[in-house]
Amino acid sequence: MNDILSMLLTGVPWTLGVTLCAFATGVVLGFALCALRMARSRGLAALGAAIVLTLRSIPPIVWLFFIFFGIGGGYLSLSPFVAAVLGLGLITAAQMAEVYRGAFAAIPEGQYEAAHVLNLSPPQRFFDVVLPQLTRISIPTAATYAIGLLKDSAVASTLGVADISFQAYQVSQQTFQGLGVYSAAALVYLVLSVPVALASRWVSASLQRRISQ
């Protein structure tokens, strides 16, 4: 059993790597997508909405195969890791765009008016007034999504990324102890998601304190 667990644990850095890189990609690209969705021009806003809907309507595994075999096969050479991060990052961007949009709507109108009345410059308005509140409102939803992404990152194993799921498959084929192997793998994922939940609670509590000071 110890051997099985230590084999599974060699997959942890890959699972965390895919999750963190895809999440970071999504957090940044999500901003751009949200800006597009909230554009004043109707055409641009419709384009943004269409991109978000398309990204969310096709399963992750199809995006990953499309990027790895479709784009990566003929036009560009992509490693499985990069393809997985790109695919999951794009899907995350669509989800984060919706999270940001909800957060923008949750900032009270008076905050914009106050910033305007105080004669803050547009960058000050954004960085000192809007962004701190946007972050605070987005964190709980973003953290829930990040935990979901940690589990969804298991699809990277279908491209051959040596993550926990990939190791579980290898070990179960070698030892014929599938039941124990997959139960242990499920527990490893469960244990990994606990720190994310705790970190999100800690970050939102400390942001709350900073805001109320």
Measure the CA–CA gap between 18 and 89, rounded to whole angstroms: 9
Instruction: By CB under 8 A, tell whether 152 contacts other proteins.
Output: yes
Which one of the spans 34-42, 77-85, 124-132, 162-170 is the region binding other proteins (CB under 8 A)? 162-170
- CB burial of 123-136 (b: ≥16 within 10 Å; e: otherwise) equals eebeeebbeebbbb
Instruction: By CB under 8 A, tell whether 185 contacts other proteins.
Output: yes
Which one of the spans 26-34, 112-120, 184-192, 198-206 is the region binding other proteins (CB under 8 A)? 184-192
Measure the CA–CA gap between 208 and 201, rounded to whole angstroms: 11
Residue 39 Cα distances to 32, 47, 49, 121, 157, angstroms: 10, 10, 11, 20, 37
Residue by residue, DSSP assigns 55-115 as: HHHS-HHHHHHIIIIIIHHHT----HHHHHHHHHHHHHHHHHHHHHHHHHHHS-HHHHHHH
Binding mask 42-81 for other proteins (x = CB under 8 A): -----------xx-xxxxxxxx-xx--xxx-xx-------
State which residue, 57 or 213, has the beta carbon closest to other proteins. Answer: 57
In the complex, the smallest distance separating the C-beta of residue 163 from other proteins, rounded to whole angstroms, is 10
Tell me the two tokens of residue 192.
């990994």
Which one of the spans 39-47, 82-90, 129-137, 166-174 is the region binding other proteins (CB under 8 A)? 166-174
Among 2, 122, 176, 212, binds other proteins (CB under 8 A): 176
Task: Return the axis-axis angle of helices 42-57 and 12-37, rounded to nearest 10°.
Answer: 150
Spatial contact of 62 and 128, defined as CB atoms under 8 Å apart: no
In the complex, the smallest distance separating the C-beta of residue 28 from other proteins, rounded to whole angstroms, is 24
Angle at 99 between CA 33 and CA 164, to 5 degrees: 95
Instruction: By CB under 8 A, tell whether 169 contacts other proteins.
Output: yes
Which one of the spans 23-31, 76-84, 186-194, 203-211 is the region binding other proteins (CB under 8 A)? 186-194
Among 105, 179, 205, 210, binds other proteins (CB under 8 A): 179
The contact set with other proteins (CB under 8 A) reads: 53-54, 56-63, 65-66, 69-71, 73-74, 151-152, 154-155, 157-158, 165, 168-169, 172-173, 176-183, 185-186, 189-190, 193
